Amino acid sequence: MINKIESIGTTSTGKIIYSSDDCQDILSLPVTKIIDVFKPSGVIIFRGFGVTHEQMKAFAALFSSKFVQDYKRPQVDSDKFIHFVDAGMENCVPHSEHAYSPFRPDAVWFCCAFPAAQGGETTFCDGIRVWEELSEETRQLFISKKLKFYYEDIPAVVLKRFTSTDAASTDDIKRMLDGLEGVKYEIKEDESASMEYVSSAVVKTKYSNQDAFANSVLALHAITEKVAFEDGSIVPDEVIEEIEKTTDRLMEHISWQAGDLAMIDNSRFMHGRREFNDQRRQIFSTLSNLKF
Ligand SMILES: [Fe+2]
């Protein structure tokens, strides 16, 4: 049973669920009640349960149809579904996880083994509110133009991870890619692939079917400075500035305590990180598709 539940901050829909004397094991929380809280809130922090990264995965499995690999991050379990996220200590701008690819997961899970002494908070903002607060001109821009992403030389071994088996054949990979919306691809003789992915920056949320500005525009802009639309034009600097100001204004944060677990709706929320300067900070993540 859930004894104590609070809102995160004063404006967020997000909730904190606390352990209690009669419930200190995260795995004994009632799944259906958690789902009822998660659907409208989109972010839940579980506090006081002393969650380890193994427990995070076991708990996530109760809600998930499938884990999604993040092959760019160091993996810490034998299935390669738990990742160590602490690459660098700098600020990370808000983004939805893997929104630049057709393999975007429904949920992002984080657990904290050791918080930074100062800073290092995970930030998050509600894409529904960001979309509501962008100017009409910017909204029209993102309604009229989709974003385009292009990838070359994707190794077959990477694409196999997104099929149901590591033993996938080229035909299995083609079947998987054929089933994805917005994807055009070419598989070369050495089985590597090139892929074009077209996707709107404004997406429908999984649980309320509302428009949400939940994407990787700011994160890609921080890396490339050129985020492209389908027609080849670039997202203008003044639009990037408007998105930055809007997300800054709406940003909430998780001040980590050791043993915290966070469950975030990746179809609605963007998340990021405040900078820190503490080598001891340890946060783990896993990504999954939800089965409810
Ligand atoms: Fe992320």
Give me the CATH number covering residue 275.
3.60.130.10
State the distance from the centre of ligand 1 to the C-alpha of 29, rounded, in angstroms. Answer: 26
State the distance from the centre of ligand 1 to the C-alpha of 32, rounded, in angstroms. Answer: 27
β-pair partners for 18: 4, 47
Residues 202 and 286 in one domain: no
Domain residue limits at 253: 4-128+248-290
Residues 89 and 203 in one domain: no
Residues 23 and 118 in one domain: yes
Domain count, the chain: 2
State the distance from the centre of ligand 1 to the C-alpha of 172, rounded, in angstroms. Answer: 28
Check residue 1 and give its pLDDT. 76
Residues 42 and 133 in one domain: no
Residues 214 and 253 in one domain: no
State the distance from the centre of ligand 1 to the C-alpha of 272, rounded, in angstroms. Answer: 6
Residues 39 and 136 in one domain: no
Put residue 221 in one of left, alpha, beta given phi > 0 → left and psi -120 to 50 → alpha.
Answer: alpha
State the distance from the centre of ligand 1 to the C-alpha of 194, rounded, in angstroms. Answer: 24
Residues 157 and 229 in one domain: yes
Residues 120 and 257 in one domain: yes
Residues 124 and 154 in one domain: no
State the distance from the centre of ligand 1 to the C-alpha of 92, rounded, in angstroms. Answer: 8
Residues 13 and 124 in one domain: yes
By the CB criterion, residues less than 5 angstroms from ion ligand 1 are 97
State the distance from the centre of ligand 1 to the C-alpha of 1, rounded, in angstroms. Answer: 31
Strands 202-204, 211-213: pairing is antiparallel
State the distance from the centre of ligand 1 to the C-alpha of 278, rounded, in angstroms. Answer: 19
- Integer angstrom CA distances of residue 47 from 8, 28, 55, 126, 258: 12, 14, 13, 21, 9
State the distance from the centre of ligand 1 to the C-alpha of 22, rounded, in angstroms. Answer: 34
Check residue 12 and give its pLDDT. 84
Residues 113 and 137 in one domain: no
Check residue 86 and give its pLDDT. 63
Question: String of b and e for 257-291 (b: at least 16 CB within 10 Å)?
Answer: eebbbbbbbbbbbbbbbbebeeeebbbbbbbbbbe
State the distance from the centre of ligand 1 to the C-alpha of 97, rounded, in angstroms. Answer: 5
Tokens encoding 141: 């821009």
State the distance from the centre of ligand 1 to the C-alpha of 109, rounded, in angstroms. Answer: 10
Residues 119 and 254 in one domain: yes
State the distance from the centre of ligand 1 to the C-alpha of 271, rounded, in angstroms. Answer: 6
Check residue 115 and give its pLDDT. 96
Residues 86 and 282: beta-carbon distance below 8 Å: yes
State the distance from the centre of ligand 1 to the C-alpha of 282, rounded, in angstroms. Answer: 15
Residues 276 and 89: beta-carbon distance below 8 Å: yes
β-pair partners for 255: none
Put residue 163 in one of left, alpha, beta given phi > 0 → left and psi -120 to 50 → alpha.
Answer: beta
Check residue 262 and give its pLDDT. 98
Q: What is the pLDDT along the chain (292 residues), one digit of tens a residue?
A: 778 999 998 778 999 999 998 889 999 999 999 999 999 999 999 999 999 999 999 999 999 999 987 767 777 777 777 777 767 899 999 999 999 999 999 999 999 999 999 999 999 999 999 999 999 999 999 999 999 999 999 988 888 878 767 778 888 889 999 999 999 999 998 889 999 999 999 999 999 999 999 999 999 999 988 899 999 999 999 999 999 999 999 999 999 999 999 999 999 999 999 999 999 999 999 999 999 9
